Amino acid sequence: MSGAIGAKLDRVDGRAKVTGVARYTGDWGLPGLLHAVLVTSPAGPGRVAAIDVDAASQTPGVVAILTHENAFPPPVEVEAPGAEGVVPDSRTVLRSPEVLYAGQPVGVVVARSLEAAIEGAARVGVVLDPRPPQLDLEGSGVDGIFAPKSIYGMEPPDSERGDFERGWREAAVRLDVRYSTEWEHHNPIERHTTTAVWEGDRLTLYDSTQWVNGVQDDVAAVLGLPVENVRVISPFVGGAFGSKCETWPHTICAALAARHVGAPVRLEVTRQQLFGLVGGRPQTRQRVRLAASVDGKLMAIAHDSLNDTSARGDFVEPCAVPTRMLYSCPNVVTTHRLNRLDIQTPTYMRAPGHATGTFALESAMDELAFALGMDPLALRLANYADHDENLGVPWSSRELRTCYERGAQRFGWERRNPELGSQRQDGCLVGWGMATANYHTLQSPASARVKLTADGRAEVRCATLDFGTGAYTALTQVAAEVLELPPDRVHIEIGDTDFPWCPIAAGSQTMASVGTAIALACQKARQELARTGRREVEVEARSEPTREKKWSSHAWGAQFAEVQVDPELGTVRVTRFVGAFAAGRIVNPKTAHSQLLGGIAMGIGQALLEEDQRDPRWGRVVNADLAGYLVPTQPDVPDIEVILVPEADRLVNPLGVKGIGEVGITGVAAAIANAVFHATGKRVRHLPIQIEDLL
């Protein structure tokens, strides 16, 4: 059916989800299934001096207890050989008495019921020899502040063009400010869960993940198995946005427990354990220097970023990457540095680096506009980049100017009174702020298999994931478009390593990568059908993106926020929000709207609510639940208007798609902070913004 792409198709998996037919990781019923619960370290770092399992082993229903003493057959190496690419938290779990961070698994209790496993785990006595944790990002750390080798193996940690010092000296207006963001943590609706089943030396994992092929590789490496002996299944995932990109220790523990007891084992991580076990967004400390002429033209930009990482992992939050290309400026320098602290390894969290980095850069641009007496939007337009000055190549497409115009018009930006504290409503101070949104477009190799059946249906299989983003639906539309079939005659199966290989479902790359592979496979199937005349054909195709940097591809947006601040209580409410976005060809406007709206809501949480708090004595998260760790709920989120700006891009990939999962959160925190300044005259340079900042 021509026109399937671009239609507001309802989610094809929606009925299965709301009726309970969809099977998530915790829904797979297996004969003889046992339940496992983790025992985690109450503090860290340190060393386990003793583990008392006597009381736990006598708990009715408890079958086995695993610790570092019996989880691996001797001799046990501290790190799994050949597992260098695995997050270090999983390479070392249950291999030695060494504890690197509070919340690290030190034992697993397996029982015939979940209740018995919970009770047994509570009865395990852990005697720890602790060391004082190093948690100060700007302190000495474990090894001192250092430069990483690269950013995700894709970009250098530092960049420089032009002569920053000269541009800084010659500028009429200079700004040198520091910003900070605190730990944020993932809280998907579906907690991290793994069910492990052994058949001889073959292992099947039902795992809540964003990358079945990644889990397959990681588990094989840690356990010393051939990759082909590990199968990972995950057809439905109940939320993620980065938390399920890595293979975390619980997955390894589930596999070890199932091997130990010789039966299927399901391990569900508790909500409280997630805070100490699964990485989140790291802390950042950022310094931004802007220099401009009297008419607002940027003459020099410097953006230096520091984030924490774990004692053995090198995770970079690439805060300064957007600064390299977002605005036109002849002299730009950026740096990224790390400091090892006694924490679990940080991980990707929706728009890693871009969400935190745009807070600093876009707040600084607002501060520069105020210093110059310019409108914040006018300053951005004065420094509009007509090409990527970092790479020296043109944009594949860039409708950012249209985003500014459409968003400002809908928001009513022209009515903004620049005087601080000049707007009031219902006894509250009212402020308006704006910021630029940006996220780079990624594409990786991907494969897909298509079978055309004699009754005029198409079956599509690939190993990608859908964790609520709408991939099932959008990929169905791609296949329907190319095959000229109604969407209800296309059946998509995903989330199984037995299906053709796909990249991680992260980085807003699924449509560009997997969608392209499905389109190629469908084209190949049609050609095969026409060539052979057979009633049924089955083909497989692989997409290979170009690695030549002939152009620069990004999704763009403009964020506009209105806040009300109670002058006596210091409370901040976002009362209105408009986001305008250009992200290439939109496969499904309905699911795209939902993704962008969700990104803005998550940005409100980043700006005003979310923060891990750690006990400096023991290193553990003290607000490790949804009562203490605040996320946006209905009263926190206003009516959000999302504008989809048409953008044709014939260069980015054959489908012309970019990616929308992450651009929606970028710039949100800055727009809110800028609105708070406009309302109160108080510039808050750290997240989350708190009542104490405004009293």
d(C-alpha 292, C-alpha 270), whole Å: 51
> Structure tokens of 627?
């009562």
The yes-or-no answer on residue 165 being catalytic is no
Contact 557, 600 (CB under 8 A): no
What are the tokens at 31? 């004969």
Catalytic residue among 170, 484, 662, 692: 662
Q: Quote the radius of gyration of the chain (alpha carbons, Å).
A: 26
**Smallest Cα–Cα separation from 422: which of 413, 431, 411?**
431
Which residues, other chains included, contact 122 with Cβ-Cβ below 8 Å and sequence gap of 6+?
none
Q: Are 318 and 349 in contact (CB under 8 A)?
A: no
408 φ/ψ angles, rounded to the nearest 5 degrees: -65, -40
The C-alpha atoms of residue 269 and residue 271 are separated, in whole angstroms, by 7
User: What secondary structure letter does DSSP report for 69?
Assistant: T
Distance from the Cα of residue 50 to its chain's centroid: 37
CB atoms within 10 A of CB 262: 12
Q: Which helix (H) or strand (E) holds 308?
A: strand 298-309
3-state secondary structure 21-40: CCCCHHHCCCCCCEEEEEEE
Q: Token pair 């964003």 is at which residue?
A: 210
CA angle 61, 66, 69 (to 5 degrees): 145
| CA gap 209, 219 in Å, rounded | 13
Q: b vs e for 144-181, b when ≥16 Cβ sit within 10 Å of the residue's Cβ?
A: eeeebeebeeebebebebbebeebbeebeebbebebbb
Encoded amino acid at 562, one letter = E
Enzyme catalytic residues: 662
